[in-house]
Amino acid sequence: MTKRSATLIIDGQPHIELPMHSGTLGHDVIDIGSLGDHNVFTYDPGFSATAACQSDITYIDGEKGVLLHRGYPIEVLAEKSDYLETCYLLFEGYLPTADQKADFEKTIRYHTMVNRSMEQFISGFRYDAHPMAMLCGLVGAMSSFYHDSLDITNQQHRTISAHRLIAKMPTMAAMCHKHFIGQPYIYPDNSLSYAENFLHMMFSTPCEDYPVHPALTRAMDRIFLLHADHEQNASTSTVRLAGSSGANPFACIAAGIAALWGPAHGGANEAVLNMLSEIGDEKNIPKFVLKAKDKNDPFRLMGFGHRVYKNHDPRATVMRESCNEVLTVLGLENDPLFKLAKKLEQFALEDDYFISKKLYPNVDFYSGIILKALGIPVEMFTGIFATGRTVGWVSHWNEMITNAYRIGRPRQLYTGPALRDFPPIEER
């Protein structure tokens, strides 16, 4: 194979040859690592055209609306797999055999309980603490409980930390919810599936069990599965950057949770429901759409648009199906809020501004509606996204540590003052 390179000429100076690399799919990359030797950096705030790492885990073709995990399309995984099997695939790199699948499920099942002190930790939060604030703290605090598995150079330690994170996230998320609504915590029930157990911990009380409808369990499992990984997004890149310093996995995932919280990322599902409440009525849709188009108004239609998908979000297509199923099972097709969401979706899909800018409903538009229909308070939505995404974060972290890596250290275009004298205080 011929070695390819790109040539850079700066102000007529001698050419700089930059090697190029090709992946199995996707754009080629120009390796600019040597540019610093030529006293020049590249500038790409927002990482629009910068690959920060090499990865085997997930591939996205935003133009075609393709999302592959280890080569398998997300639609196929949503149909034929389940969340825990997809976790195995993402972390280990291949689909499990029947025995491996059963072993993995058993391992996750038997790691679902959290240390009793976590309960005291949660009760220290104010009654109305946001679940994401609690989750950031709880996951960071896990590093204070599991000293037995913090050697990041040891693959066994990395694997057990990953299992603990995947298994305990639903328990901790449900505990945050219970604290938020002032109910006693419900312990995990190891006879239940992952998604069923989560709904049980969310909705059962010591007085009454919550019988979970199979269609709702399926929808919950799909929400976890569809959020499991998404390549080098803001929170995953945050986890990698934190991990590049050698920080322990719990600290890194806590950093990922913080990055996920913002409304431009995982916070969008919560923002969708808040926006629908603000719109209030179908007759107000045109007014809000006009606001979203107004360049001088910061308002955006939450749950629409994506940095990478410029055709459609394949996760949204699957989530839309689940959304319709859940609304039917729960008899909510005529609920005013859900009718409003459907009308908004239709309005935006037919509007020239949204069509020309390729702003389609994304996964968070539909997941927000499903979670609301399941009776989950909006404050919990992003914590549920975090629960599903934990496997993606920990898989990327593990991949980075397994391969050669250096501490992440971006450069900058400095625009502050040049060297100046320090004036004595009386002369300022």
User: Which residue in 82, 229, 313, 364 is the catalytic one?
Assistant: 364
364 given a catalytic annotation = yes
Q: For the residues of 159-192, what is the DSSP string, one character each?
A: HHHHHHHHHHHHHHHHHHHHHHHT-------TTS
| C-beta of 136 vs 201, nearer to ligand CMC | 136
Q: How far is it, in rounded angstroms, from Cα 364 to Cα 387?
A: 14
Contacts with ligand CMC: how many residues (CB under 6 A)?
20
The pair phi, psi for residue 375, each rounded to 5°, is 90, 20
User: Count of CB atoms within 10 A of residue 122's CB?
Assistant: 20
265 is an active site residue: yes
Candidate list 4, 27, 357, 411; residue touching ligand CMC; CB under 6 A: 357
Give the residue, chosen from 86, 233, 248, 382, that forms a contact with ligand CMC under the rule CB under 6 A.
Answer: 233
Q: Counting contacts by CB under 6 A, is residue 188 touching ligand CMC? A: no
Q: Is 221 a catalytic residue?
A: no
Closest CB to ligand CMC among residues 137, 305? 305
Judged by CB under 6 A, the residue of 304, 360, 381, 397 near ligand CMC is 304
Q: Is 306 in the site for ligand CMC (CB under 6 A)?
A: yes
Of positions 65, 305, 383, 392, contacts ligand CMC by CB under 6 A: 305
Q: How far apart are CA 267 and CA 8, in angstroms?
A: 40
Residue of 57, 152, 239, 268 interacting with ligand CMC (CB under 6 A): 268
Nearer to ligand CMC, 40 or 290 (CB): 290
3-class SS of residue 317: helix
310 binds ligand CMC, rule: CB under 6 A: no
Helix, strand, coil shares of the chain, percent, nearest 5, are 55, 5, 40
Q: DSSP labels for 298-312?
A: ----TTB--SS-SS-
Instruction: Give residue number: closest CB to ligand CMC.
Output: 305
Number of neighbouring beta carbons within 10 Å of residue 415 = 5
300 binds ligand CMC (CB under 6 A): yes
Q: Which is nearer to ligand CMC, 180 or 304 (CB)?
A: 304
Residue 67 interacting with ligand CMC (CB under 6 A): no
User: How many Å apart are CA 2 and CA 25, to the nearest integer?
Assistant: 18
User: Shortest distance, CB of residue 265 to ligand CMC, whole angstroms?
Assistant: 4
Question: What is the CB neighbour count within 10 angstroms for residue 405?
Answer: 15
The DSSP result for 71-108, as a single string, is TEEHHHHHHH--HHHHHHHHHHSS---HHHHHHHHHHH
Angstrom distances, CA of residue 5 to CA of 15, 16, 21:
12, 10, 8
Tokens of 259: 């990055």
Q: Which is nearer to ligand CMC, 15 or 357 (CB)?
A: 357
Q: Is 264 in the site for ligand CMC (CB under 6 A)?
A: yes
Q: How far is the CB of 333 from ligand CMC (least distance, A)?
A: 24
User: By rule CB under 6 A, what string of x and - marks binding of each residue 311-350 to ligand CMC?
Assistant: ----------------------------------------
Position 230 contacts ligand CMC (CB under 6 A): yes
Residues 285/361/277/339 CA torsion (nearest 10 deg): 70
Q: Which of 265, 297, 312, 396 is catalytic?
A: 265
φ/ψ of residue 192, rounded to 5:
-100, 160
> Residue 149 or residue 362: which is nearer to ligand CMC going by CB?
362
Query: Which residues are identified as catalytic?
Result: 265, 306, 364
- Interface positions with ligand CMC (CB under 6 A): 230, 233, 264-266, 268, 292, 300-307, 357, 359, 362-364
